[in-house]
Amino acid sequence: MKQLFTFLAITSFLFTSYGQDTKAQEILDKLSKKMKAQTTFYVEFSANIKNTSTGTDETETGKGWVKGSKYYASFGENTIISNGLKTWTIVKEEKSVYESDANEDDEESINPRKLLTIWESGFKNKYAKEMTLNGETVHVINLYPKNPGSVDYHTVILYISKTKNELVKVIMKTKDGTVMTYNVTNFSTNTEISDSKFVFSTAKYPGYTVIRD
């Protein structure tokens, strides 16, 4: 889960638009507009973390439900629930629940909306090419951190469906040689999601210790 937290931490900068590639920025602005128009959405994704020098090659799957500022996300055996005011991080291995005030800028949040709007913060962008991915035409856009000395990654590559205007794949390359690949396997918008999805109950997690900030 630490790798995902690292990945999502790169969205914690304030949004600025200087130093951008015009074609890339137009595509990303269009994608941002579409995402912000969704009142709810559901996403499924797979994440592979690979480093040949350490022999690491791990794959996990994740799911996320978003409704306004509320979200429910699972990644591997860990879960985060947020009702927009409070956030509960449930770590199965520890049998612990970490409760904190909701904060969309929290770098250890796995808010699914962050995963699908990664490009909006702290990056220079450059259009790379158009290619076919799994039979679908996609735009490939490279992102580079504006403050490279303060982060442990050097490049993020976005693959955006040309016809559907949706993010379908993200690759993050870190300075230690780790490559993290995220594939969006299912994405649906404006679906019916009950508010009960975002309610945390200790009764559902018997034996877990709740730790409050």
> Phi and psi at residue 58, in whole multiples of 5°?
-125, 140
**Residues spanned by the domain of 34:** 2-207
**pLDDT attached to residue 154:** 92
In a domain, 176, yes or no: yes
In a domain, 136, yes or no: yes
Contact 187, 43 (CB under 8 A): yes
Whole-angstrom Cα distance, residue 196 to residue 202? 14
- Report pTM: 0.79
In a domain, 22, yes or no: yes
**pLDDT attached to residue 18:** 38
| CA-wise closest residue to 43 among 161, 189, 197, 192 | 189
In a domain, 97, yes or no: yes
For the chain, which residues score pLDDT lower than 70? 1-20, 104-117
**pLDDT attached to residue 183:** 94
pLDDT tens digits along 38-89: 889 899 999 999 999 999 999 999 999 999 889 999 988 889 999 989 999 9
**pLDDT attached to residue 152:** 85
In a domain, 186, yes or no: yes
Tell me the CATH number at 177.
2.50.20.10
**pLDDT attached to residue 104:** 54
pLDDT tens digits along 89-100: 999 999 999 999
Supply the DSSP string of 53-112, one letter for each residue: TTTEEEEEEEEEEEETTEEEEEETTEEEEE-SSEEEEEETTTTEEEEEE--TT-TT---H
**pLDDT attached to residue 163:** 96
In a domain, 212, yes or no: no
In a domain, 191, yes or no: yes
**pLDDT attached to residue 206:** 94
**pLDDT attached to residue 153:** 84
**pLDDT attached to residue 76:** 85
Please work out, in degrees rounded to the nearest 5, the angle formed at the alpha carbon of residue 157 by the alpha carbons of 159 and 174. 150
| CA-wise closest residue to 146 among 4, 6, 16, 7 | 16
| CA-wise closest residue to 15 among 85, 97, 114 | 114
Whole-angstrom Cα distance, residue 49 to residue 26? 30
**pLDDT attached to residue 38:** 85
**DSSP H or E segment with residue 21:** none
In a domain, 213, yes or no: no
Give the total number of structural domains in the chain. Answer: 1
